[in-house]
Structure 1
């Protein structure tokens, strides 16, 4: 996709369409704001990427599932601004922002299954500032990110109130030069659930900070996400294929939802193969501890042995996260820092993975 040749992610926030919501009235105009923390400061041209496809399976899949095509809806107006805080009430009215356009128009009819991006515009912000994206929209079925852990607000009766049911950008892209584009593909653990809202303390945010601004980083983690979702080769994997390197971490939800050991192995193998076929380097990680019990312990151990002993020979890199997150040597399946690792656990993860990734990136960027 040509977009990725020009624009690279400039936030470490998790992104993607996790599910959809239904509005009360398809003709009513609704407005929301999302605040993304800037990774690398400076003045760049930004373009915001959107998709009208659900990336992953939400919960048990009864309501929303991978590759679900959302109905047509409309962006009535959109604007973006830079701020030092993430309080919607302090951001002022839309006139203080820059208007976003789409192929030169202020409105955009979003078609079922469409990928689209805003026209580029120049923004200046420091590292740690926020990009506030405000979108007014109408329609019946709207894709969104239910478990997002960044600040999001909806305008109701003239007041901004916290709400996840707003329009999200899949990528906050800018034309900042980057040696490599690195994607993080996984479930809620990769997204950052387990860390505080707006803390950016998840493992790949800490890792990206350590790796530095020579690269660009896109957090594709989604709560409830499964290897089977990505292996289906839909919109989620399509986005990952645009990266130079993808760090993969799946298996927890697959174990709890299906428990099919051989299918999970096949799905992980398919992810590696399909990413590599697109020219993407793959670093695969073992399935983290998650306080498994009974037969799941045996299956978890078998799949991790497969990753370390078999899949590692095909992947471009492998990292065993279990020793970092396990309660102790006698109970490697129990999570020392919680099934969704807290900031301390994510810090330990980033610290252990950093030298592996730094060495790996050096070998492919020469």
Structure 2
């Protein structure tokens, strides 16, 4: 067996023991591109699905998941550059994400017992396990210092409206408990690809989509979007993982690179049923300017790859939400949803009609209900829409 296959098998064995500890997405849709080397520290506050004594582990993927804008800077499958984790810590972040951590609670995250790690382009790897006792109602604070040794592209991350509170600081401040060195981060979420905790679950439910799945435009630290509300409604015995990414499109996933690999590594785990929710299409029709036929072909390609990986995986396909499309974009949107509703696609187990929940009455189905828009000009669903969709999904799902 080759070195790459051995590493994949070892990663899979670890994944069987760990499930996602949070409903926030840490998918990477951008990449740091600097004209000089840098050393920088990032501290992010995350609400976990469960508190108390926990054994955590962090999985890293040094690649861009999905295309940002038109792909001039970041595109799906792009490998990150070389960089170094100088230090990483978890801590009790307290009840308020104010930049500090509770005194005496920081625990070092190690990699093969080392506190630092060199990261190669495109590499995936796990941290060692690390334990913490996190009081109910407290955030987990994840802090790490990253260093580059050459200019150019380096660390993949998520650039989008902040859904969690985060801080950053130039230099190495990972072991500091105070907030004195840090400033509030803006549109920059720098986290490992997977934050897992040791737990045996009955079923894994994976949410795979764009900014609407990610939860963009809902309240910071509110976990109001439908993926988070569904995970909360199902309870911790369901291993729910949100892999939504702003600007993402089906043809990103159809490249069968880093982003789709996140789903594939969750498939075929022993004694665990896996269900995948595919919620894609808005960005394909919009900035991607894809036809209905092209979008449906990409969705079918994704489904086929996932079923080849593990035929027992159940795939739940969402209709494409209304995004106030007009003219030709509206016509393509209608064609796609008609196909999904009437014929579905081979390999799909069930179809959930999210569009029917969010849409205005006919003949304006392509328009989103005003009360569900994040503002009068932005059709990203708000927290009320997240609540409505989640309630409908849970009733339908059960």
**Aligned pair 1:260/2:291, yes or no?**
yes
Q: Deviations over 1:70-106 (max 9, x none)?
A: 111000011101233342433268x640001001101
Aligned twin of 1:43: 53
Q: CA-to-partner distance for each residue in 1:281-325, whole Å, 9 max, x for gaps?
A: 210000000001001111101001111222255301111111210
Q: Does 1:123 find its partner at 2:154?
A: no
1 CA distance for matches of 2:197 and 2:188?
Answer: 25
Residues 118-157 of structure 1 aligned to structure 2 (within 5 Å): 118-126=127-135, 128-139=137-148, 140=151, 141-147=154-160, 148-156=162-170
- Return the offset for 1:268: 0.8
Counterpart among 300, 304, 310 of residue 273 in structure 1? 304
**Is there any run of 5+ residues in structure 1 with no aligned partner, and where?**
359-366
What whole-Å deviation, never above 9, does each CA across 1:101-156 have from its counterpart, x for those lacking one?
00110110001100111100112224543111100110142111111411111024
Distance in 2 (CA, whole Å) between partners of 1:58 and 1:329 is 33
Q: Is the 8 A contact 2:92 2:102 kept in 1?
A: no
* From 221, 230, 246, the counterpart of 2:276: 246
Q: Identify unmatched segments of 5+ residues in structure 2.
A: 1-11, 172-179, 268-273, 374-378
Equivalent residue runs for 1:213-228 within 5 Å: 213-228=236-251
Question: Among residues 200, 204, 226, which one is paired with 2:223 in the alignment?
Answer: 200
Task: Figure out how many residues of one structure are paired with residues of the other and give that number.
Answer: 356
- Are 1:302 and 2:335 matched, yes or no? yes
Mapped to 1, the partners of 2:120 and 2:258 lie a distance apart of 15
Deviations 1:269-289, CA, capped at 9 Å, x for gaps: 111121222222210000000
Moved more, 223-232 or 259-268: 259-268
Could you state the TM-score of these two structures normalised by the residue count of structure 1?
0.93
Q: 2:25 aligned with 1:3, yes or no?
A: no
The separation in 1 between residues aligned to 2:137 and 2:305, in whole angstroms, is 35
Contact residue 153 and residue 160 of structure 1 kept, 8 A: yes
Contact 2:93 2:100 in 1 (8 A): no
1:349 aligns with 2:359: no
When the two chains are superposed, the root-mean-square deviation of aligned CA atoms in Å is 1.8
Q: Deviations over 1:335-356 (max 9, x none)?
A: 1112211111111101111122
Distance 1:277 1:167, change over 3 A: same
| Matched residue SS, 1:350 | helix
CA contact (8 A) 1:39 1:128 kept: no
SS in 2 for 1:89: coil
1:268–1:149 CA distance, 2 compared to 1 (3 A): same
Name the residue aligned to 1:287. 320
CA gap of 1:223–1:86, structure 2 versus 1, over 3 A, is farther
Shift of 1:175: 0.7
The residue that corresponds to 2:29 in the other structure is 18
CA spacing shift, 1:351–1:312, aligned 2, 3 Å: farther
User: Which 10-residue stretch deviates more, 287-296 or 236-245?
Assistant: 236-245
